[in-house]
Structure 1
Amino acid sequence: MKNRKKYSVIIPTLNEEKHIASCIDNINKCLPGAEIIVSDGGSKDNTLQIAANKGALILSSLNGRGGQLNLGAEKAASKILIFLHSDTILPKNSNLLIDNIFKYKKVQVATFKMNFDIDNWILNFYSWFTKFDSIFTRFGDCGIVVRKSYFEKENQFPEWKLFEDVHFLRTVRKKVGVFTIPGFVTTSARRFLQNGFIRTQLRNFVYIIQYLIYGKPKDLYSKYNKMKNFNKKAVIVFAKYPEEGKVKTRLASTLGDKFAKDFYKVCAEHTFKEILKINRNDTRHFLFYSEENDRNKIKKWTHSKFLLFPQQGKNLGERILNAFQSVFKNDVSKSIIIGTDLPDISSDIINDAFKLLDKSDVVLGPAKDGGYYLLGMKKIIKELFIDLPWSTDRLLKKTLEIIKSQNLKVSILPELSDIDTESDLNTWSNTETKLKPGRLKSLVQTELFSN
Structure 2
Amino acid sequence: MNQNQQTCIILFAKFPAQGMAKTRLQPALGIEGAAQMARRLLLHSIEQAVATGFTIELCVSPAPTDPCWQALGLPESLHWSAQVDGDLGLRMLTASQHALQPIELKNFKKVLLIGTDCPSLTATRMRQAAQQLEAQDSVMIPAFDGGYVLFGFKQVAAHLFSNIEWSTASVAKVTQQRLAELSWSVALLAPLPDIDEPEDLQYLPNGWLDGY
TM (normalized to structure 1)?
0.44
Match of 1:349 among 112, 121, 125: 125
- Does structure 2 conserve the Cα–Cα contact (< 8 Å) formed by 1:353 and 1:376? yes
State the Cα deviation string for residues 178-224 of structure 1 (Å, max 9, x = none). Answer: xxxxxxxxxxxxxxxx79xxxxxxxxxxxxxxxxxxxxxxxxxxxxx
User: Match of 2:207?
Assistant: 442
Distance verdict in 2 for CA 1:326–1:253, change over 3 Å: farther
Take 2:207 and 2:127, find their aligned partners in 1: how far apart are those partners?
Answer: 28
Select the structure that is richer in helix.
1
Is residue 397 of structure 1 aligned with residue 168 of structure 2?
Answer: no
Is residue 262 of structure 1 aligned with residue 36 of structure 2?
Answer: yes
Match of 2:87 among 315, 324, 327: 315
Is residue 327 of structure 1 aligned with residue 99 of structure 2?
Answer: yes
User: Match of 2:78?
Assistant: 306
TM (normalized to structure 2)?
0.90
1:250: Cα distance to partner?
A: 1.1
User: Match of 1:73?
Assistant: none
State the Cα deviation string for residues 90-130 of structure 1 (Å, max 9, x = none). Answer: xxxxxxxxxxxxxxxxxxxxxxxxxxxxxxxxxxxxxxxxx
Take 2:95 and 2:27, find their aligned partners in 1: how far apart are those partners?
Answer: 30
Structure 1 residue matching 2:20: 3-state secondary structure:
coil
User: Match of 1:284?
Assistant: 55
Take 2:8 and 2:208, find their aligned partners in 1: how far apart are those partners?
Answer: 31
Take 1:303 and 1:354, find their aligned partners in 2: how far apart are those partners?
Answer: 22
1:246: Cα distance to partner?
A: 1.8
Take 2:126 and 2:109, find their aligned partners in 1: how far apart are those partners?
Answer: 15
1:294: Cα distance to partner?
A: 5.6
1:299: Cα distance to partner?
A: 4.7
Q: Which residues in structure 2 correspond to 1:49-448 (within 5 Å)? A: 232-279=6-53, 283-292=54-63, 295-301=66-72, 302-329=74-101, 330-426=106-202, 428-429=203-204, 436=205, 441-447=206-212
1:292: Cα distance to partner?
A: 2.0
- Does structure 1 conserve the Cα–Cα contact (< 8 Å) formed by 2:61 and 2:83? yes
State the Cα deviation string for residues 399-437 of structure 1 (Å, max 9, x = none). Answer: 1111111111000122110011101213x25xxxxxx2x
Take 1:351 and 1:270, find their aligned partners in 2: how far apart are those partners?
Answer: 16
- Does structure 1 conserve the Cα–Cα contact (< 8 Å) formed by 2:138 and 2:184? yes
Take 2:108 and 2:166, find their aligned partners in 1: how far apart are those partners?
Answer: 26
Question: What is the identity, as a one-letter code, of the residue corresponding to 1:291?
Answer: P
Question: What is the identity, as a one-letter code, of the residue corresponding to 2:56?
Answer: H
1:325: Cα distance to partner?
A: 1.2
Please list every run of 5 or more consecutive structure 1 residues that lacks an aligned counterpart in the other structure: 1-193, 196-228, 430-435
User: Match of 1:9?
Assistant: none
1:253: Cα distance to partner?
A: 4.2
Structure 2 residue matching 1:343: 3-state secondary structure:
coil
1:333: Cα distance to partner?
A: 0.4
Structure 1 residue matching 2:209: 3-state secondary structure:
helix
1:295: Cα distance to partner?
A: 3.7
Please list every run of 5 or more consecutive structure 2 residues that lacks an aligned counterpart in the other structure: none
1:234: Cα distance to partner?
A: 0.4
Take 1:295 and 1:305, find their aligned partners in 2: how far apart are those partners?
Answer: 18
Take 2:199 and 2:208, find their aligned partners in 1: how far apart are those partners?
Answer: 16
Take 1:393 and 1:292, find their aligned partners in 2: how far apart are those partners?
Answer: 29
- Does structure 2 conserve the Cα–Cα contact (< 8 Å) formed by 1:289 and 1:295? no
- Does structure 2 conserve the Cα–Cα contact (< 8 Å) formed by 1:248 and 1:261? yes
User: Match of 1:126?
Assistant: none
By relative contact order (CA 8 Å, sep 6+), the higher-ranking structure is 2
- Does structure 1 conserve the Cα–Cα contact (< 8 Å) formed by 2:64 and 2:80? no
Distance verdict in 2 for CA 1:327–1:397, change over 3 Å: same
- Does structure 2 conserve the Cα–Cα contact (< 8 Å) formed by 1:313 and 1:322? no
1:345: Cα distance to partner?
A: 1.3
Question: What is the identity, as a one-letter code, of the residue corresponding to 2:69?
Answer: I
- Does structure 1 conserve the Cα–Cα contact (< 8 Å) formed by 2:9 and 2:112? yes
Question: What is the identity, as a one-letter code, of the residue corresponding to 2:63?
Answer: E
